Structure 1
Amino acid sequence: MPVRELTAEDLIAYRMLSAGAFGGSVDPSAADAPQSISPGRTLVGIDSSSIPGGQAGVIAAGAEIRYDRIALGGGVAGCGGIGGLSVHPAHRGDGLFGALVTGVLARCLAESLPLSMLYASNPSIYRRYGYQVVARPQSLIVPLVDLQRIAAVPDRRLVPVTEATMPRLRELHHELIAGDNAMLRREPPLFPEGLPALPWAAVLLEDASGTAHGYVSWTRRGDATDGIGLDVHELFGRTRSDRVALLRSLGSWSTVTELLRLRLRTDDPVLDVLPSGRARPDSSPVPLVMMRVVDTAATLRARRAPAVLGGTIRLDIEDGTVPEGTCRAAGSYLVTARDGAITVLEQEPSSAGDCDALGTCRLDVHAAALLLVGGRTLADARRLGLGAEADPAAEAFLDALLAGPRPSVLDAF
């Protein structure tokens, strides 16, 4: 069951497979039928004809790999975003899912993508292959009348987001997520330069000198039978006062609708400026964000170390979830922090103990995913029942090295 890269000639067959798994339809004769693979993506799959009883022209299993870049510990890392992973009903139960996942991971490694990310409504099937839940998207339902009462913030004004001002919003977004973990950098070709499609809308918040301090984006819902007339995609501000000003701007919608749905980052700072406790969690189901380490050394090298942190530890990672050579997560590494930089040396297990290190940390691949993406400690990993053991000094070092906000993933403006 060889996994191969799919081409434009395979696109209709792959779309038919995906539509059959997730819903929708594909008309090969339609004028708008897909003709080429979108930039920034690779499709991989397994031919039905390579399986006993299979048929030519049918994709038995397939997936899409996105070449994303994410903010990570003050740096930027490549990440293989996995989507559309599906198996044809005629071939389910034949081991194709595992072959496809390992083929996807091998392709991520070959393309120098040290991490892989996916959304999962059934995390257990991906956990078998080393993926770990790292975040859960969340939203709040907020009464607009509460926002209407917020006092004005001095020296701030709102600017419509247009084709002319959208570059300022993108620049500000990249600046404000630089210290986050796992947030997608919204860059071409995966994110086109222009405005998102209508009915998306947004405003920038700026001061009297024209410096941008924040933005809020939304979509006005026309079918608000539940009273939720506004989907707020994100609200970002440099300071607490900026976030207050943006919340106040949303209060102006209270004359035409009752509620808004506010999409949040993990531990979103906007939670600290909501003017009342009447907001409630959105009950809509959301998929979990799972990540996997594909290349441990490259993941660590992409990060920045705290400027005051210095020292070396031995990091041992075990990974029995995929065939050897599929990923470079497992191994013994000497991890050094000095002057804000991280260096990583791969070691033979027999020689790694001879180094001048603070001690050793031993992680399984699930703990490695949880910790290397940032914002969690070895104690958190142990609390989840993951494999995470360390000498005291090495544990304190690794916790300090990987500190930061917990991962958040918002996949669009």
Structure 2
Amino acid sequence: MDAPAPVCKGRSVDILRLTDDAFAPRADAIARLRHEAFGMPVEEARRSVPAPAGVARYAADDGGRPLALANLLDHRAWFGGRPVPQAGIGGVTVAAEARGRGLLRPLLSQLLRDARERGAAVSGLFPTAPGIYRGLGYELVTARLTVPVETGELAAIRPVDGLELRRLSGVDLPVLNELQDRWAREQNCVLERSHGAGGLDVELDHGAQCSGAYADGELIGQLTWRRGGGPGPRDGSALSALELVALDRGAATSLLALLGSFSSVAQRVELRIGERDPWRLLLRSVATRVVDREDYMLRVLDVPAAWTGRGVAAGIDATVEFRCIGDPLGMTDGSYRLSAAGGVLDCAVVAAADPDLPTFTPGGLACWYAAAHSCATLRRLGLLSGGDPGQDPVLDALTGERRPDVRDHF
């Protein structure tokens, strides 16, 4: 159902979910918007216009002319060792002439309400302007980095005896996705690839290579990489490591050593990793220089569903009450009781009895849920107030030791 037409700085627009009937007469205009926003050739933009499975497209529309676009993606993301339904937001663009008119708030508000009605408990996105999305209840929780590493340094790493390296391809996607999910269970925010999310298949279709590390016939690590540019050692952009997933040190060192084997023809490799990726510690340089950073933001859409769907350590036995205030969309404001027992979380709305409960802003709630920061840090940032700070370790224990990471851009 289309939303009522909001008034955006003096002019009304319609917020539409672009069904096939609504999409067809706007296809050329949508392709032009995507060309302007993402720089792709117009013909490529036209080919990418039909929404793939699992993607719903929304528009702020002015009499048949789309002024702003956003995609809603059906994802599941790992939190506390369990996959939680997530609304991924991507493809956000506003026509140059319509910027500054406040179109994104009504557009994304309707999209997120629809996502919640369809069962999404949280929402994630890669922002180009974090301030815009903070105004909608999102907060930064992690980032995907690209760091340059000298291949000469990697050449000094010795592969582990007993591991076999094999070249993999698209036919191996099921086992690659299973490996990813085994690793992702120990993180927060990573998409569940067996649910259909992720871009490894696209990378392989566009010329990337994939090498797997096997121990006793079992896949325990994979490196997705691309060789490009010239053959000479001075061509610093000739080698890219798009993804490294490893279940243990042996797999990680063997795959990093594989990159080092290019040292005679490529001076450095650009390695794409998570902000807290532990494999950086295997490098002498610790890869401190960042050549690209893709920040990631999260917000909670449905507090009881998010917590009940999330995992918790089996040894945690606790009950806390907390409040959420200041949600610009009004989705999470209220008081809640959260209980953990036997490795299961239960969360329910409660009447506001104690006015001095721990109180989270929307951004604070996102950071707590993702275990991005301790509650002590959230207090220093003004994202958590009230309650007894002495009980903050209990709140921290409920989210556990898994930390946020991201691998798949959308």
Do both proteins adopt the same fold according to a TM-score greater than 0.5, normalized to the shorter chain? Answer: yes
Select the residue among 33, 43, 56 that pairs with 2:57: 43
* CA displacement, residues 365-412 of structure 1 (integer Å, 9 cap, x when unaligned): 110011112242111212333233332454221100112233111116
User: Does the 8 A contact of 1:62 with 1:87 survive in 2?
Assistant: yes
**1:135 and 2:147 are equivalent in the alignment:** no
**1:259 and 2:268 are equivalent in the alignment:** yes
Change (3 A) 1:396 1:278: closer
* CA displacement, residues 214-264 of structure 1 (integer Å, 9 cap, x when unaligned): 111111122687513211112222222221122112211112111001111
SS in structure 2 of the partner of residue 3 of structure 1 = strand
SS in structure 2 of the partner of residue 255 of structure 1 = coil
Partner of 1:315: 322
Misfit runs of 4+, over 6 Å = none
Task: State the number of aligned residues.
Answer: 391
Partner of 2:383: 386
> What is the rounded CA distance, in whole Å, between the counterparts of 2:312 and 2:164 in structure 1?
37
Select the residue among 17, 23, 46 that pairs with 1:5: 17
- Residue correspondence of structure 1 range 326-365 to structure 2 within 5 A: 327=331, 329-350=332-353, 353=354, 360-365=357-362
> What is the rounded CA distance, in whole Å, between the counterparts of 2:409 and 2:291 in structure 1?
21
Select the residue among 190, 214, 227 that pairs with 2:236: 227
User: Does the 8 A contact of 1:82 with 1:117 survive in 2?
Assistant: yes
Select the residue among 246, 249, 255 that pairs with 1:246: 255
Change (3 A) 1:188 1:77: closer
> What is the rounded CA distance, in whole Å, between the counterparts of 1:215 and 1:143 in structure 2?
20
AA matched with 2:341: R
Give 1:278 shift.
7.1
Give 1:150 shift.
2.1
Change (3 A) 1:386 1:163: closer
Partner of 1:121: 128
> What is the rounded CA distance, in whole Å, between the counterparts of 1:365 and 1:34 in structure 2?
34
5+ residue gaps, structure 2, are 6-13
Select the residue among 169, 191, 195 that pairs with 2:176: 169
User: Does the 8 A contact of 2:77 with 2:83 survive in 1?
Assistant: yes
Q: Which moved more, 1:251-260 or 1:10-19?
A: 10-19
Give 1:91 shift.
3.2
AA matched with 1:112: G
* CA displacement, residues 118-161 of structure 1 (integer Å, 9 cap, x when unaligned): 11122111111111111122122111112222233121110110
Partner of 1:406: 403
**1:283 and 2:295 are equivalent in the alignment:** no
> What is the rounded CA distance, in whole Å, between the counterparts of 1:133 and 1:278 in structure 2?
23
Partner of 2:188: 181
5+ residue gaps, structure 1, are 50-56
Give 1:193 shift.
8.8
User: Does the 8 A contact of 2:139 with 2:297 survive in 1?
Assistant: yes
Partner of 2:11: none
SS in structure 2 of the partner of residue 107 of structure 1 = helix
The percentage of counterpart residues that share the same residue type is: 27
Change (3 A) 1:157 1:334: same
User: Does the 8 A contact of 1:70 with 1:183 survive in 2?
Assistant: yes
> What is the rounded CA distance, in whole Å, between the counterparts of 1:306 and 1:114 in structure 2?
20
Partner of 1:107: 114
Select the residue among 29, 32, 40 that pairs with 1:24: 40
After superposition, the CA RMSD in angstroms is: 2.5
Change (3 A) 1:263 1:248: same
> What is the rounded CA distance, in whole Å, between the counterparts of 1:85 and 1:412 in structure 2?
13
> What is the rounded CA distance, in whole Å, between the counterparts of 2:49 and 2:158 in structure 1?
53
Change (3 A) 1:313 1:379: same
User: Does the 8 A contact of 1:227 with 1:259 survive in 2?
Assistant: yes
User: Does the 8 A contact of 1:336 with 1:343 survive in 2?
Assistant: yes
> What is the rounded CA distance, in whole Å, between the counterparts of 2:171 and 2:99 in structure 1?
50
User: Does the 8 A contact of 1:183 with 1:409 survive in 2?
Assistant: yes
Select the residue among 305, 313, 321 that pairs with 2:312: 305
SS in structure 1 of the partner of residue 126 of structure 2 = strand
Partner of 1:294: 301
User: Does the 8 A contact of 1:82 with 1:118 survive in 2?
Assistant: yes
SS in structure 2 of the partner of residue 81 of structure 1 = strand
AA matched with 1:249: L
Change (3 A) 1:314 1:278: closer
> What is the rounded CA distance, in whole Å, between the counterparts of 2:297 and 2:93 in structure 1?
17
Partner of 2:74: 67
User: Does the 8 A contact of 2:138 with 2:297 survive in 1?
Assistant: yes
* CA displacement, residues 264-317 of structure 1 (integer Å, 9 cap, x when unaligned): 12321211222x227442333x33211111111111112112111112110111
Partner of 2:10: none
